[in-house]
Amino acid sequence: MTDELSYSDSERIDNLIERERSPHREPSVRITGLMVQYYHVCRRELWFMSRGIDIDRGAANIRRGSYVDEHSYRNKRRSFSIDGRISLDLLDDGDVMEVKVSSALEEPPRMQLLYYLWYLDRIHEVEKSGVLAYPKERSRESIALTEDTALEVEETLRGIIDTVEADSPPDLEKKPYCHSCLYQDICWL
Amino acid sequence: MPQDNHHIFADGKLSRSEDTLRIDTLAGEMKHLPVESVGTLYLHGQIDFNTRTLGLLNDYGTTVHVFGWNDYYKGSYLPKRQHQSGNTVVEQVRAYDDQDRRMPIARSMIQASMHNMRSNLKYYDTRDHEFGDAIERIEQQQELVADIADIQELRGAEATARKAYYGCFDDVLRDPFELSRREYNPPSNETNALISFLNAMVYTTCVSAIRKTALDPTIGYVHEPGDRRFTLSLDIADIFKPILADRVLFRLVNRRQLNLDDFERELEGCLLNEGGRLTVLEAYEETLDETVAHPRLNRNVSYKTLVQTDVYSLKKHILTGEPYRPTERWW
């Protein structure tokens, strides 16, 4: 797969990859899977999170998410943390699995999983395919890194770097899911 | 969401029992307190506890406020921080150290405090009291604040407004309660004792709210960090005293829920006795749970949540430059 994929010709992405590969150099922005997800949910949320602006971790939907993650398919998958950057679950058959409570938002978890695949491929030269699982809905979806999706990931990464490096958070924007966001008390005050 | 406050008045022993809290009183009673539902624990009696208990409180992020003889606030056991954020503390100190950043924060805090004092007077002004002069004096100070560039002067304006405000208390309060003048250490009469006790409760409420963020409670903007107490808590408490303490005071006295038997006079001072403290705390806790519709959050929030969101708003301002909107009574 790797040989057939052609990636974008972007200096910033090349720079990121070079620094991620080198044992002693840190990229200017350490991009985690959660950041990729947040970028596609709400850039303002991403900015707050990147600045250590805290939320109440005891909130009900965080606990629910952790519970579903901890109790689903546990006999079939194992968790790995890679470079402190991404933490993913590998299934027995070698696929990368991402478990979510609900499929209400499609794009954010899809991009998170694609980032894991991109990271494995581009930084560690390991080819994997992915499975997005919604145990409560008893459904799964296969996700693969292709030329198109790899370009999407890289566009996301550039967007994340721009967002996080900005001095102030992106402007307020009312979204349909603001009411269930953990940052709403910070955003709208 | 903020969790409940629990008050323990009994003398006895607090311990860890399996994964929850247990209190054994000297009177021979035993009770379990589900630790995950206790947001803040107030110890008013003589309580023994050990490090195992503190470990449990730590795991659940529960703050403990300890009160000593005659319910003087002694101090707090603060759990290990859940949120470590060097970035936040650095920015908090920078904002303190830079006059151009400190003054606007301090000004908004003082403005909010004056607004809330004035709002209480206006409420009673429409109910057969004549507080026009005092309201005007507070408004004069509010106008001055915009142009004040010096923190001492700002505190002076606040003191002038507060004096006009306290000057109205005797008129609001039903006999035999009177303030005459604000005195503490020790409070000189029943009203002073009530104000001191309620203010201490507001202060601890603010300590708990600040603890839920990565802000450093010792660095305030109106008060100087040289004080022995948490100066940021003092700053925030001043905003909320008219809302949380003074209204409760007026209500308790005027509905005759308290009388002179609820106090004890000794050593030339005056303090609430245990029965009085129970009455006051019950009213205070009820007030914390009262809710109002929040215009920007689009939902009902309790007064206790307002303290928390005030702290969030300050933190957001410090880190992003977006406006700090201290709580000014809008309802």
pLDDT per position as a tens digit, B69-97: 777 788 889 887 766 678 889 999 999 99
Q: A44, A48, A54, A63: best mutation site toward chain B, by most B Cβ within 10 Å?
A: A54
Q: B298 vs A179: CB contact, 8 Å cut-off?
A: yes
CA distances B100 to B88, B218, B221, B311, B326, Å, are 18, 20, 12, 20, 18
**Which residues lie across from B6 on neighbouring strands?**
B41
- Partner residue opposite A54 with nearest CB, options B213, B297, B322: B213
Say if residue B330 is exposed, middle or buried (CB neighbours under 10 Å; 0-12, 13-18, 19+). Answer: exposed
- Taking the C-alpha atoms of residue B179 and residue B195, their distance in angstroms, rounded to an integer, is 9
Which chain B residues are closer than 8 Å to A56 by Cβ?
A: 1, 212
- Partner residue opposite A189 with nearest CB, options B82, B86, B296: B296
Residue B229 pLDDT grade (very low, low, confident, very high; cuts 50, 70, 90): confident
Instruction: Write out the DSSP string of B149-160.
Output: --HHHHHHHHHH
Return the closest-CA partner of residue B125 out of B161, B157, B165: B165
- In this structure, of A30-44, A65-79, A120-134, B287-301, the range with the lowest mean pLDDT score is A65-79
- Is the model's pLDDT at B123 over the cut of 60? yes
One-letter identity of residue B262: D
Number of neighbouring beta carbons within 10 Å of residue B66: 15
- Quick one: DSSP state of residue B226? T
- pLDDT tens per residue, range B129-172: 899 999 999 999 999 999 999 999 999 999 999 999 999 999 99
- Quick one: DSSP state of residue B80? P
**Is-contact B161 B142, C-beta < 8 A?**
yes
Residues in chain B whose Cβ is within 8 Å of chain A = 1, 61, 82-83, 85-88, 212-214, 296-299, 308-309, 312-313, 315-316, 319-322, 325
User: pTM for this structure?
Assistant: 0.84
Nearest CA-CA distance, residue A42 and chain B, Å = 17
CB of A168 within 8 Å of a chain B CB? The answer is yes
Q: What is the ipTM of this complex?
A: 0.72
- Taking the C-alpha atoms of residue A175 and residue A177, their distance in angstroms, rounded to an integer, is 5
E strands along chain B, which residues? 4-8, 12-17, 20-25, 30-33, 38-43, 47-48, 63-67, 73-77, 263-266, 269-272, 291-294, 299-302
Nearest CA-CA distance, residue B310 and chain A, Å = 8
